[in-house]
Amino acid sequence: MYCAICNYADVSRLLTWLPMLNCETRVDDILESPNDIPGFLSARPYCNVFFQSQYNTKLYPETCEMIINKCNMTGKWRDYDRFTEMACLSYTSLFNEKYKKYKNVHCFMCNGHIESEVKETCMFGINDPAAPPFLPPFLPFTVVLDFKRKEGLHT
């Protein structure tokens, strides 16, 4: 949703998907709000959330493209930085640079690029008065669902 809004998509044309809870065993608890989901899932590792379309939506698979998803894949990393490497491995938020795609901006930086080469992709913040009028006052929980956990790293 955030990326769509940032790129001025027509929000009235977006289709929201329903969050569905899938557990390996029966669960009698009832979630009262989306804010309960993180605590619920952390207490029940046998449960997961997936999203289901409410519409008869035809899905068209994307073609696979090479995505640089770890540090120094290009062999051009100048100075090792543990934090940057951990950040590169810990989440996905695609970052495009000319003809290459990176898993996130940290993977971009640990493959031979410096911070000054990073260009802003969304020029306004959540509460920025210059933001389009349809920007919601808060972001949905689903914005953070793509974060991954790597052994020993917590995001």
What the block records as the tokens of 101 is 């795609």
Say what the pTM is: 0.42
Domain count, the chain: 1
Task: Note down the domain range covering 69.
Answer: 62-155
Report whether 105 contacts 99 (CB < 8 A).
no
- Among residues 103, 111, 101, which one has the least CA distance to residue 65? 101
Structural domain contains residue 118: yes
What the block records as the tokens of 136 is 């919601």
Structural domain contains residue 2: no
One-letter identity of residue 119: K
Structural domain contains residue 83: yes
DSSP 8-class letter at 62: P
DSSP 8-class letter at 131: S
Structural domain contains residue 132: yes
Instruction: Spell out the per-residue pLDDT of the chain, length 155, in tens.
Output: 666 776 677 878 777 777 788 888 887 777 777 778 788 888 888 888 877 777 776 666 555 678 899 999 989 998 898 999 999 998 888 888 878 889 988 999 999 888 878 776 554 455 555 555 544 444 444 444 434 444 444 44
